[in-house]
Structure 1
Amino acid sequence: MPHAFIPREVELRLTQNTVEVLAGTRRVASHPRSPRRGHFATTPEHMPAAHRAHAEWSPGRLLNWAATIGPATAELVKRLLLEKPHPEQGYRACLSLIRLARTYSHERLEAACTRALAVGAHRYRSVASILAKGHDQQPLTSPAQGEQALPEHANVRGPNYYHCTRKEPPC
């Protein structure tokens, strides 16, 4: 039904082939009924203008845009679209990434997407935070490089301690 009627209470008239929406005595919408159970269908004219703008985008168009920034941005956009039950649910996050590309350079956005993918943070908010804090401009270290060896001392048990066959330590 038209989005202007969303807060109002309406009456539905359902037939085998048609769904009608009535506001008082006035019919505000009529649609063919979807043959798929639990499936919804939306008429573009009934959508708010902002939602219609989202409908103009497609996963392919978003992926093509992301590829112009770099491979990490393209991978992040792909994951944003795939990790939602419907690709359209990922559009908002992808469009927000496009907005970040207007604020930050393409190089910084690509570096932030690289860092987000490396740490498993596949969300727009993670990329925005990385950019805002300047973490994209710091070198990306792998966990193996950042670890330090434990010093040897008397309280370290060693690997043989945990291979004990007896029920009570120490072996």
Structure 2
Amino acid sequence: MERQALAPLPALRYEFKRQHQATVMKNGHVCLGIDKHYYSVPYRFIGRKVKLLYSRTNVEVYYHYERIAMHRRIKSPYSYTTEKDHLASTHRFMTEWTPDKFLEWAASIHEDVRLYILKILDRKQHPEQAYRSCIGILSLARKAGNERLASACRRALGYGVYNYKTIQQILENKMDSYEDSLFADELPMPSHDNIRGENYYK
């Protein structure tokens, strides 16, 4: 008797959702803190505070109860999930952060810094994905000085490794002051529980 009155089961299984508050960065992305992963939202929401609702499989972004973006949840840290139509560069809309401005800033420090920033911008599918790395690297000039940053970028260009962490490690380990013939193929060995070291085998 009751079967006739039953409604069909939902097409999608219920998933528990959590909330996270974030501000849309100038590169048009928000960070889901628990995963340290960045998701794009439409560029007109840059600078706005938004709410992220996330489940095991999806991330939804809301502004004033309106859903403005939805992405599959990706848990890889410090990487980007980007929808092309969200980006300011797709619509020729100029924000405070643009590739040309970063290249001009880098050129004012040194040509090697400009070349390094150019490599970072070229390696990303969308320029907005590189903006945080660019501003992080260029800001190191205030702490380390223009000359040291230029030397660090020159060494990193030789490694063929293009990211903020590489420049930071070179400066922290004072590798920018090494002779070019020394440690040409070495980056600092990261500490890791699975790496026992040479003394383990003695």
- Say whether the fold is shared (TM-score over 0.5): yes
Identity of aligned residues (%): 31
* CA distance in 1: counterparts of 2:103 and 2:115, whole angstroms: 8
Query: 1 CA distance for matches of 2:136 and 2:124?
Result: 16
Q: 2:85 aligns with which of 40, 55, 74?
A: 40
The correspondence for 2:170, drawn from 91, 113, 130, is: 130
Q: Secondary structure at the match of 1:5?
A: strand
Q: Residue type of the partner of 2:50?
A: A
**Distance change >3 Å, CA 129–CA 42, structure 1 → 2:** closer
TM-score, normalized by length of structure 1?
0.56
Which structure: larger Rg?
Answer: 1
**CA displacement at 1:3 relative to structure 2:** 5.0
Per the alignment, residue 28 of structure 1 pairs with 66
Q: How far apart, in 2, do the equivalents of 1:68 and 1:6 lie?
A: 38
Stretches of structure 2 that go unaligned for 5 or more consecutive residues are: 1-40, 42-47, 56-60, 69-82, 89-94, 185-202
Q: Which amino acid aligns with 1:68?
A: S
The answer on whether the counterparts of 2:51 and 2:62 sit within 8 Å (CA) in structure 1 is no
1:1-39 deviations in Å (ceiling 9; x for gaps): 775232279xxxxxxxxxxx999xx86378xxxxxxx74
Q: What amino acid maps onto 2:174 in structure 1?
A: G
The residue aligned with 1:156 is: none
Equivalenced residue count is 114
Q: What is the Cα-based RMSD across aligned positions, in Å?
A: 3.3
Matches within 5 A, 1:1-171: 4-7=50-53, 28=66, 39-41=84-86, 55-141=95-181
Structure 1 residues 6 and 40, CA, compared in 2 at 3 Å: closer, same or farther?
Answer: farther
Structure 1: tracts of 5 or more residues without a match? 10-20, 31-37, 44-54, 145-171
Kindly tell me: are residues 115 and 42 of structure 1, through their superposed partners in 2, closer, same or farther at Cα, counting changes over 3 Å?
A: closer
The whole-number CA distance in structure 2 between the counterparts of 1:143 and 1:6 is 45
CA offset at residue 99 of structure 1?
1.9
Partners of 2:148 and 2:171 within 8 A in 1: yes
- Specify which structure has the higher proportion of helix: 1
Q: Which has the higher contact order (CA 8 A, sep 6+)?
A: 2
Residues 21-69 of structure 1: CA distance to partner in whole angstroms, max 9, x if unpaired?
A: 999xx86378xxxxxxx742369xxxxxxxxxxx411000000000011
> Whole-Å Cα distance in 2 between the matches of residues 112 and 40 of structure 1?
36
How far did 1:123 drift?
A: 1.4
Q: What letter is aligned with 2:66? A: V
Distance 1:29 1:121, change over 3 A: closer
How far is 1:118 from its partner?
A: 0.9
CA distance in 2, matches of 1:42, 1:84: 13
